[in-house]
Amino acid sequence: MRKLITLTVAVLGPMFCGSMIYAQEAPAQKTGALDVQTVVQKVQTTSDTAGQSKTELIPVETALPGDEVVYTVTFKNIGEEPADNIRITNPIPEQMRYVAGTAFGPGTEIVYSIDGGSSYAEPAALIVKTDAGVERPAQVDDYTHIRWALNTPLEVGEQSFARFRAVVR
């Protein structure tokens, strides 16, 4: 029975290539095993009366074109088993431009997509072919998705985060 299900997933996989693959059924599924939150903030630097500057992240409700915001995806294992092979996938909103080099997550490998999430690679391996047939390295403007892959399992009760900065186009 278990073998049959695995086969189904394997067949479905290629069909869903390019979008999130949702396993149709999984025996070990614990509902609500991870809690995932995304917040958007901006850096605010203030200086107090003594002239000491203080930098903090404050919530963003509105922003102007050109403003930079910080997206933070926080995830916590609220289940009863360690979670492994964790991957966080974040499409970059089309009105936003990723700020190069700002994606970060403790203990993660970070790859990017320039094709709407169909494929991912490290920045150096991302090549754009122009209409004229000329290949060039991808620019941050070309990035469509960011993906963080955790190197280690997330233990029960453990929390981590993935973060990047982007500018309002």
> Is residue 159 at the binding interface for another protein, with CB under 8 A as the rule?
no
User: Cβ 138 to another protein, closest distance in Å?
Assistant: 9
Token pair of 36 as six digits: 């995932």
User: Cβ 118 to another protein, closest distance in Å?
Assistant: 5
Rounded to 5°, angle at Cα 50 from 45 and 51: 40
99, 166 Cβ separation under 8 angstroms: yes
Nearer of residues 27 and 51 to another protein, judged by Cβ:
27
113, 148 Cβ separation under 8 angstroms: no
The closest alpha carbon to 86, from 5, 158, 168, 25, belongs to: 158
> Is residue 35 at the binding interface for another protein, with CB under 8 A as the rule?
yes
User: Cβ 161 to another protein, closest distance in Å?
Assistant: 10
Nearer of residues 55 and 121 to another protein, judged by Cβ:
121
Q: What is the DSSP string of 18-29?
A: TS----S--TT-
Supply φ then ψ for residue 6, to 5 degrees. -55, -40
135, 127 Cβ separation under 8 angstroms: yes
> Is residue 73 at the binding interface for another protein, with CB under 8 A as the rule?
yes
Per DSSP, the three-state class of 120 is coil
Among 57, 68, 93, 102, binds another protein (CB under 8 A): 93
User: Cβ 166 to another protein, closest distance in Å?
Assistant: 8
Per DSSP, the three-state class of 10 is helix
Nearer of residues 50 and 131 to another protein, judged by Cβ:
131
Token pair of 37 as six digits: 């939150």
Among 7, 16, 38, 157, binds another protein (CB under 8 A): 38
> Is residue 23 at the binding interface for another protein, with CB under 8 A as the rule?
yes
Q: Which residues bind another protein (CB under 8 A)?
A: 9, 20-23, 26-40, 60-66, 69, 71, 73-75, 78-79, 81-91, 93-96, 114-116, 118-119, 121, 125-131, 142, 144, 154, 162, 168-169
